[in-house]
Structure 1
Amino acid sequence: MDVSALQDLLTTAAGARVVAIGDLMVDRFVYGDVSRVSAEAPIAVLSRTRETVMLGAAGNVARNLAALGGVATLIGAVGDDAAAHEALALIGAESAIEGFLLTDPARPTTVKTRFVCGGQQLLRVDLEDVAPISGEIEQRVIHTVREAARGAGAILLSDYGKGVATPRVVEACLAAARAERAILVIDSKARGFDRYGSADIVKPNAGELAYATDMPTGTDEEIEAALEVALGLCGSGAILVTRAAQGMSLAARGQAVRHFRRAPRDVADSSGAGDTALAALGLALAGGANLVQAIELALLASSVAVEKPGTATVSPGELIDAEVRSRRDPSRAKIATAHRMVEEVARWRRWGLKIGFTNGCFDILHPGHIAYLTQAKGWCDRLIVGLNTDRSVRAAKGRGRPVNDLDARALVLAGLACVDLVVPFDEDTPQALIDAARPDILVKGGDYRIEDVVGHGAVTGYGGELRLATFVEGHSTSATLRRFAQGE
């Protein structure tokens, strides 16, 4: 999808009404650092630094609908507990979400608590009751679906197997979709898809499709075979399977399977990416987009969501920016101004990532540089390289330097997997960049003395670390140039 078509689609879909119904969760993320092992058992000790709480599952679908410019109605069941009050407060903070949370005193609110260090989940603890809702609660959900669906362009049912998507609730969604001529899309984790009747689209992921069909789903051919079987066992109009880095695959009745690809991006956290895809798909269809356009939007939205920590939402601006960036040379996208560096660092910190910083001229890249940068990246989650401009290289190294100009040096550095951002600086030292980035770890080569490292006082002063990388003997730009001069 080109940028102009994307902008048109987002504009058309803005304000579309969509119902998000199903299993609702409270997602809690506890972030911290690990620096030791418990004396009580061979387990890591997480030193808690912060905690975030957000709506998950159907709640995350509603959040993403609102973030993308839609108007969401959220229907779900919660317990009579503190987590339910958290969920209500979170919905109250979203002006574009109308929430109908029905209290069932017989069950707890589903809560997933994830413990995270350095962008890696260490443990997840679930509190839940997966028994189907029944009696008065089920009837109230059915009644709410009928009322809330009036004027909606799509109904999105999240069936996480936590009890809300009973056969009667599914039938109520089917009836409401027929009555309103709305699209019904079901995100399914069920053993079989026949329970969804004539739903327009069923959306499992590859693992869930394998679970429902007892078939492998690793390759395109395996996906196609499993989709053929799945369509034959249910009455849905189409099945759209999400496949992480392999994109999405669509099987519609009477048509060949179509595969949709998008170049994979950096994955910070895949939690909730399926919810984001469901929201984007449903909102696009509610806004009048065709199925191919809706899938392309869903694929784009989920690729942006996985770059963020936690159960994330995405905005129209982020989608447009991602589409623009996808058309650039990926290496050049890593070359940034100091201003953009500050924005990127703020984003990484919100994700709980550890920031590293180093600097240099990097005139003629050699094995010593590669070893040094690789070691530096091993100490952090994101590595920023401050790069001397041509003027500052000449000031430090003298006439004849640099051999390679700033653009060439920056592009080569940005092409390294261990480097996340390259930031040129024209000053004689990187002190201003270090002050702006406030890295957790400042890295220099092992041939430096601590007292000679620019920025070490500032970094250690606010609690950061200075680390000296192992010096690799026999490799230096100056030595290489001397050999060239001597004709070696």
Structure 2
Amino acid sequence: MQVDLNRFKKTNVLIAGDLMLDTYWHGDTSRISPEAPVPVVAVNKEESRPGGAANAALNVAALGAQANLVGIVGRDDAATTLTRLLDGAEIRHDLSIDEHYRTITKLRLISRHQQLIRADFEASPSAQMRQSLGNQFNSRLADADIVILSDYGKGALLQCRDLITEAKQRSVPVLVDPKGTDFSRYRHATLLTPNMAEFEAVAGQCRSEDDIINKALSLIHEHQIESLLITRSEHGMTLVKQSGEYHHFPAQAKEVFDVTGAGDTVISTLAVAIASGLDLETSVALANVAAGIVVGKLGTATTTAAELKLAIDADHDLERGMMSFEQLREAVSNARAAGKRIVFTNGCFDILHAGHVGYLQDAKRLGDRLIVAINDDASVSRLKGPNRPVNGLDRRMRVLSALKSVDWVISFSEDTPEPLIEALKPNVLVKGGDYSLDQVVGADIVTRYGGDIRVLSVEDNCSTTATIEKIRKS
């Protein structure tokens, strides 16, 4: 994907919502309190970061765009700190100050990179302060290319329907990070970005990909929303448009360290990308990459344009990674329509070793896209014994997804991958070892529709079983 991120510098984003100050106390833990069964943390470092809508603004600024922030604070030390941080990030801000309001603060106590406790200091803004926010919002609209409404359910956006109406009357797109179960408040918004839990709280439990699409379309038509982007953690993102068109974006293969503020990163990247003139699908792909970067950081964090560019340059094909069946079926269909040759292999891949890596590299050379189907934990146990697998399914899938030779990883619960082979119809079916062609599981299926069967050698003296046995003897 070729994207000129310099275009971001020309965009102007207006952000409104619940402002917060995220405060972190870091320290070492070496003993348990004699007063209660809790760890004693010797705090040696304190830091504060903009949170809530302020973090969305920080993400916008980190991408090189101009961020304009409106919100409500009290007249207190937290507001002073928050204002200083916003000034340092060159974020323009019009903050409504309420003498009787306490600036929302979230205090996190962290030791050895683990969050031990969070304490929230909150208050609800008055109707007068919400009106003041609305006035500041309207005065900034003339300069805005796009609007972000960052709703954390703390009261600043109770009047968000009026803000959406005002923005739409001026033809300014509105993106909303929603909260609660009443999506009628966001009627006529351009795009909503609920996570899966938020979406199901409104739409009801989803048991399949089709369920997600159908319920998303129902919400879209009920509230006259142009699009929904559902963020789904390890399952990536699903974009559903009013036209009925939908796209799945697989999660980028990252080790998740902290999801704090990831939603702010997603909506901020989307806003900047759309405002810069990129189409919606490309904007979502960029937001997906940005989310993959930020969850690898501790605390409320941002993704810079430089980090985004490095991630894109390192992986030109962003539709890679762990897939559900529906996602993989769509990806294979798109690749086949583009004339790509699909290669399929399968295995347990319990402890990845040099033999596996070399084998997968050889398999990828037989085509353009490599699917690796991996046995789930129960099927590994049935095949290898009750003490296997050593590594659980999620870890095995993440490791495989990180290999350059592997495009798509999917799990299956059956003893063989024949149902997947039948459904996906790969051009090449690959197996490693000393099998004859007629011994390869699924060979009859692939031969029937004219595909190729290949048996590849695996590096000598490399096996998971041998590795486990060596460890046991050491």
Q: TM-score under structure 1 normalisation?
A: 0.63
Deviation at 1:217, TM superposition (A): 4.3
Letter in 2 for 1:158: S
Residue 109 of structure 1: aligned partner: 103
Deviations 1:415-456 (A, max 9, x none): 997xx9xxxxxxxxxxxxxxxxxxxxxxxxxxxxxxxxxxxx
The answer on 1:171 being equivalent to 2:166 is no
Deviations 1:193-247 (A, max 9, x none): 111121111111111111222x124753442243133224312111111112211
Residue 315 of structure 1: aligned partner: 304
The answer on 1:91 being equivalent to 2:83 is no
The answer on 1:198 being equivalent to 2:198 is no
User: For the structure 1 residues 149 and 416, does the alpha-carbon distance in structure 2 shift closer, same or farther, using more than 3 Å as the test?
Assistant: closer
The answer on 1:53 being equivalent to 2:42 is no
Residue 76 of structure 1: aligned partner: 71
Q: TM-score under structure 2 normalisation?
A: 0.65
Name the larger-Rg structure.
Answer: 1
* Equivalence map 1:258-297=2 (5 Å): 258-297=247-286
Residue 219 of structure 2: aligned partner: 230
Deviations 1:35-85 (A, max 9, x none): 222111111222223122000111011111111010010000011211111
Distance 2:135 2:83 in 1: 20
Deviations 1:8-57 (A, max 9, x none): 1x122223000011101101112222222211111122222312200011
Q: 1:134 aligns with which of 86, 102, 127?
A: 127
User: For the structure 1 residues 219 and 87, does the alpha-carbon distance in structure 2 shift closer, same or farther, using more than 3 Å as the test?
Assistant: farther
Residue 62 of structure 2: aligned partner: 67
Residue 342 of structure 1: aligned partner: none
User: For the structure 1 residues 313 and 416, does the alpha-carbon distance in structure 2 shift closer, same or farther, using more than 3 Å as the test?
Assistant: closer
Letter in 2 for 1:118: R
Deviation at 1:132, TM superposition (A): 5.2
SS in 2 for 1:32: strand
User: Does the 8 Å contact 1:188/1:202 carry over to 2?
Assistant: yes
Q: 1:161 aligns with which of 153, 174, 184?
A: 153
Q: CA RMSD in A?
A: 2.5
The answer on 1:256 being equivalent to 2:248 is no
Letter in 2 for 1:172: L
Aligned length: 328
Deviations 1:241-292 (A, max 9, x none): 1112211111211213321113330122110010011110001111111111
Distance 2:32 2:207 in 1: 37
Distance 1:81 1:224 in 2: 46
Compare 200-209 and 259-268 and name the one that shifted more: 259-268
User: For the structure 1 residues 132 and 88, does the alpha-carbon distance in structure 2 shift closer, same or farther, using more than 3 Å as the test?
Assistant: closer
Compare 49-58 and 115-124 and name the one that shifted more: 115-124
Distance 1:326 1:297 in 2: 12
Q: Which runs of 5+ in 2 are unaligned?
A: 318-352, 355-396, 403-469
Distance 2:238 2:126 in 1: 33
Deviation at 1:178, TM superposition (A): 2.6
Deviations 1:364-422 (A, max 9, x none): 99xxxxxxxxxxxxxxxxxxxxxxxxxxxxxxxxxxxxxxxxxxxxxxxxx997xx9xx
Distance 1:416 1:239 in 2: 27
Letter in 2 for 1:236: I
Q: Which runs of 5+ in 1 are unaligned?
A: 329-363, 366-414, 421-470, 476-488
Deviations 1:441-488 (A, max 9, x none): xxxxxxxxxxxxxxxxxxxxxxxxxxxxxx97954xxxxxxxxxxxxx
User: For the structure 1 residues 194 and 47, does the alpha-carbon distance in structure 2 shift closer, same or farther, using more than 3 Å as the test?
Assistant: same
Percent of residue pairs bearing the same amino acid type: 31
The answer on 1:239 being equivalent to 2:228 is yes
User: Does the 8 Å contact 2:11/2:65 carry over to 1?
Assistant: yes
Distance 2:89 2:107 in 1: 22
Residue 12 of structure 2: aligned partner: 17
Structure 1 consecutive aligned stretches of length 4 or more whose deviation exceeds 6 Å? none
Letter in 2 for 1:308: K
* Equivalence map 1:265-414=2 (5 Å): 265-326=254-315
User: Does the 8 Å contact 1:216/1:226 carry over to 2?
Assistant: no
User: For the structure 1 residues 111 and 223, does the alpha-carbon distance in structure 2 shift closer, same or farther, using more than 3 Å as the test?
Assistant: same
User: Does the 8 Å contact 1:260/1:296 carry over to 2?
Assistant: yes
User: For the structure 1 residues 473 and 160, does the alpha-carbon distance in structure 2 shift closer, same or farther, using more than 3 Å as the test?
Assistant: closer
Residue 33 of structure 1: aligned partner: 28
